[in-house]
Amino acid sequence: NAGVTQTPKFRILKIGQSMTLQCAQDMNHNYMYWYRQDPGMGLKLIYYSVGAGITDKGEVPNGYNVSRSTTEDFPLRLELAAPSQTSVYFCASRDIAGKETQYFGPGTRLLVL
């Protein structure tokens, strides 16, 4: 199993550009999450999904959108990138309710200039 994979590893965006951060998991996990981690800070939840077709907002959803058309994939879309979105983005997945362990991907470092 590859676990949770994320692409790209690093990206530079200009202000106002858009991009999609890709996340995939091969563990057949129902739950998936997107976090951002600003320098020297903890992780903050952006969006999460409890299954294909179901998504909901986390703590910091503004400026982002997600979709979950399959169990495996959970892309994060940035529209009109702003410098405040410069961060490291982590995707995570978790099995069914009752199994709380979240498994994290390696992260995508995003720089908005």
What's the CA gap between 26 and 86, in Å, rounded? 28
Q: Is 106 in the site for other proteins (CB under 8 A)?
A: yes
Q: Is 61 in the site for other proteins (CB under 8 A)?
A: no
Residue 41 dihedral angles phi and psi, to the nearest 5°: -120, 170
Give the nearest distance from C-beta 38 to other proteins in angstroms. Answer: 10
Q: Is 31 in the site for other proteins (CB under 8 A)?
A: yes
Contact pick of 11, 44, 61, 82 for other proteins (by CB under 8 A): 44
Q: Is 66 in the site for other proteins (CB under 8 A)?
A: no
Give the nearest distance from C-beta 19 to other proteins in angstroms. Answer: 20
Residues in touch with other proteins (CB under 8 A): 4, 31, 33, 40-45, 48-50, 56, 58-59, 90, 92, 94, 97, 100-107
